[in-house]
Amino acid sequence: MELSKQIQKYIANQLSIEEKINLETRIKEDVDVRKAYQEHLDIHNSIVLQEKNSLKSRLGDLHQKQKTKQRMKVVGVILFLLFVSSIAFYWWNNRKKDPLPMREIATIYPNVIHPVTRSNPSDIYNQAFWYYEAEQYEDAAEQFKLLLVENREEDLRFYYAMSLFNAQQFSKAQIELEQLGSSSLKQFDSEVKWYLVLIYFANGQRQKSKTLAEQLQKTVPDFKKNEVRSLLQLLE
């Protein structure tokens, strides 16, 4: 199969397990294949972002929350601000020439495996990703959790963890990410390590954050190269 088509099918989660493992090995070991994969992923993410923006514009006021849920979202925002503030405080007291970009802490990982183009889907699978793209992360987490009762595919577990992370449920997100980090399939290996590095860093687990960041830097040197290097400088 032509490499370009194979990468496209990989991003769309249409490869068999054997094909997926073979391609992931090539991505890790071959610089040219890794560059080709990143180019395709960037194009795919750009398309997904455009669809996401289009979806958000159509949503409008259709999904207003009840007062109780609105209060819970406010609490979530406060917890998230405390999370970011703890890292900002640490950075301010340990700043160096190349400080960790704070924007990375709030980066939302995009939906790159199942773009949603229609509103209000009825089946749980589409509904989970629909909530995720609509930034309704608590609802997305609930749907992914239901899916995981019968289907433990890595991509669903990863987006369940991301939903928890984006919903500021960091302890639960850490548990899911650590389980993914120890699994045999490594589709999201770099991303799992990066979000764990951030959680460990924010929790004051300096050694765990540093060890994992060094591992990430060594195994996938091109992945968030500047951010990983900056964080390691802070941890020296």
Please state, in angstroms and as integers, the Cα–Cα distance from residue 162 to each residue in 47, 91, 106, 155, 169, following that order: 20, 24, 12, 10, 10
pLDDT value at 97 more than 50 = no
Please state, in angstroms and as integers, the Cα–Cα distance from residue 159 to each residue in 9, 89, 154, following that order: 19, 29, 9
CATH number for 64-234 (one of 3.10.20.30, 1.25.40.10, 3.40.50.720, 1.20.1440.230): it is 1.25.40.10
pLDDT digit string (tens) for 34-90? Answer: 888 888 888 878 787 776 766 666 665 555 555 666 667 666 667 666 666 666 565
So where are the chain's domains?
Answer: 1-60, 64-234
pLDDT digit string (tens) for 141-190? Answer: 999 999 888 877 888 889 999 899 888 888 899 999 998 888 766 778 88
Q: The whole model's pTM is what?
A: 0.54
Contacts 24+ apart (CB under 8 A), 22-25: 24/186, 24/187
Please give the pLDDT value at position 100.
40
Please give the pLDDT value at position 160.
93
pLDDT digit string (tens) for 103-118? Answer: 454 467 787 777 665 5
Distance (Å, rounded) from C-alpha 176 to C-alpha 164?
A: 9
Rounded (5°) CA angle 83-197-75: 20
Rounded (5°) CA angle 117-123-129: 45
